[in-house]
Amino acid sequence: MGKPTVGASAVYDTSQTVQIVDKMDMSIPGVLGTSPNKASGVEHNYCYTVSTADTDLLERFGEGDVLDQIECIAAGLPDGVSATNVTVVIVPEGESADPATKHTETIANLAGSSANGSGAYAFKLAAAHRALTPRIKTVAGLYDADVTNGANAIVNNLDEVNAYDFGFTFVNGTGTTEAAALAARALYDMTNAHMIETHVLDVDSSGNPVTRGPSGYIAGLQIGVDFIHDGIPSHVAGGRTITCSGPAREIAYNDFSDACEGQRLLKEGLGILTLGNGLDDNATGDGGTMYRGAHSMSNDSQLKFYNKARMRNYVLLTLARYYAQHNLINNVDYAVFKNMITGAQNWLNSLADERHIYTAPRIDFIPNSGSVDDWREGILKLSGGVEFRSPLMRTDQTLAPDIAGIEIEIAQLEAFAKNLTA
């Protein structure tokens, strides 16, 4: 993707730990799925923004994967967040009479085509469709968990869209075995995605037991965490509970040893769901189904945690939008540039003051031999640095015998004995 003639570019270069660049909404979820019972006026491959609290969702979308995923997002919202907007893209199901072929065709429809803006690529047209740009994307119906023919095309295409719109994807894992989960995770190296292995047991609106993907629930949970932090995506949603009947399969987990499946999955960067209660040493709450996860699907050590990946997107997008608003209406001018740099630096300083990033972020202008030509072309080139905070993953405590307490008591007894003879 080349640089625009009029606009701004944003890059986070972890090889050099430098960054070139008002507050953006990073917490709008997206749902990509099928809805064979949708109303006739609802178009395929078109973005619609709705609220999880809307009363006409069943009428508009009918029963199916999309409505189910919207309900999952609503179920994942924590106390204090009653509803959220969701941007929906519906694609047609496959048309083959053979179930396996139909499934493959549906995956292809969900993956879509960049040429015609279908499937995953429809999210790029959200603004053109007068919808909100979703920056927490999910796939309904577990189609993204299908990796029988290699890396899933839906996940790969959503990653391309995320590179375009500064978004992120919660990916459904296979939900079958540890070996399958690890094999699926190994297929990807992408910063803007997080895979949750365990599927969810729940009940539908009629009270029937169902198995669902976890991505919607975790998206809703993450929206609530963002809300707690004033919409700034500086924290992961791990260590919190979701409302459901439980994980769809039992994963052995222990906070204090790596000799269990849960820790092996976490080590490889997957999120998991475990069943905990207030009497369990491994429970981080009073009960319910615990979500544990923090990693992106990136092999880049600088962006291995998904809150750092989302914060990178947030900072880059916010600064790029801030710079872009000065284009064309201003001429190249020292005073204009000085004000732009000051505004950017002050905003980064505010993030540091609120402890979303580390202290001392910086915006730099370092002239070089081409700076005169850049200014003649109307181009300002800046560099700088910012360090994003990692989630607390583990505490290692070392204790050793210490005779200080014994010595204190000896001294106390000695003083007591002396007082007896006095």
**C-alpha to C-alpha distances, 279 to 55, 261, 288, nearest whole angstrom:** 39, 21, 12
Q: Are 279 and 271 in contact (CB under 8 A)?
A: no
Domain range for residue 219? 24-231+239-293
Give me the pLDDT at residue 208, please.
85
Tokens of 366: 């370092």
For residue 265, being part of any structural domain is answered with yes
Across the chain, what does the average pLDDT equal?
Answer: 91
pLDDT band for 18, please (50, 70, 90 cuts): very low
Per the model's pLDDT, the better-predicted residue between 418 and 23 turns out to be: 418
For residue 176, being part of any structural domain is answered with yes
Q: What is the mean pLDDT of residues 126-138?
A: 97
Helix (H, G, I), strand (E, B) or coil at 167: coil
- Span 51-98, pLDDT tens digits: 999 999 999 999 999 999 999 999 999 888 889 999 999 999 999 999
For residue 260, being part of any structural domain is answered with yes
Distance CA 225, CA 215 (A): 15
pLDDT band for 281, please (50, 70, 90 cuts): very low
Number of domains in the chain: 1
pLDDT band for 147, please (50, 70, 90 cuts): confident
pLDDT at 404 over 70: yes
pLDDT at 13 over 60: no
Q: Are 189 and 297 in contact (CB under 8 A)?
A: yes
pLDDT band for 203, please (50, 70, 90 cuts): confident
Q: What is the mean pLDDT of residues 206-222?
A: 93
CA 19 vs. chain centroid, Å, equals 21
For residue 148, being part of any structural domain is answered with yes
Q: What is the mean pLDDT of residues 268-281?
A: 75
Q: Are 73 and 216 in contact (CB under 8 A)?
A: yes
pLDDT band for 150, please (50, 70, 90 cuts): confident
Q: What is the CATH number of the domain that holds 45?
A: 3.40.50
Q: Are 306 and 168 in contact (CB under 8 A)?
A: yes
For residue 1, being part of any structural domain is answered with no
Percent of the chain residues topping a pLDDT of 90: 83
Per the model's pLDDT, the better-predicted residue between 293 and 245 turns out to be: 293
Q: What is the mean pLDDT of residues 201-223?
A: 91
Query: Token match 């070996």: residue?
Result: 179
- Span 251-274, pLDDT tens digits: 999 889 999 999 999 999 999 999
Q: Are 244 and 289 in contact (CB under 8 A)?
A: yes
Tokens of 14: 């972890």
pLDDT at 16 over 60: no
Q: What is the mean pLDDT of residues 137-141?
A: 97
Give me the pLDDT at residue 282, please.
44
For residue 365, being part of any structural domain is answered with no
Lowest-pLDDT range of 203-212, 342-351, 393-402? 203-212
- Span 106-116, pLDDT tens digits: 999 999 999 99
Tokens of 99: 């179930």
Distance CA 161, CA 214 (A): 21
Q: What is the mean pLDDT of residues 182-199?
A: 96
Query: Token match 């993907």: residue?
Result: 213
CA dihedral 263, 269, 270, 271 (to 10 degrees): 80
Q: What is the mean pLDDT of residues 302-312?
A: 97
For residue 390, being part of any structural domain is answered with no
For residue 11, being part of any structural domain is answered with no
Q: What is the mean pLDDT of residues 266-289?
A: 69
Percent of the chain residues topping a pLDDT of 70: 91
Q: What is the mean pLDDT of residues 199-207?
A: 85
Per the model's pLDDT, the better-predicted residue between 13 and 266 turns out to be: 266
Lowest-pLDDT range of 149-153, 236-240, 345-349? 149-153
Crossing angle of the two packed helices 153-165 and 99-111, in degrees rounded to 10: 10
Cα dihedral 345, 350, 353, 355 sign = negative
pLDDT band for 243, please (50, 70, 90 cuts): confident
**C-alpha to C-alpha distances, 98 to 64, 90, 152, 170, 338, nearest whole angstrom:** 20, 22, 21, 30, 64
Of 52, 118, 131, 72, give the one whose Cα is nearest residue 91: 118
Distance CA 151, CA 183 (A): 10
Per the model's pLDDT, the better-predicted residue between 18 and 46 turns out to be: 46
Tokens of 379: 């181009």
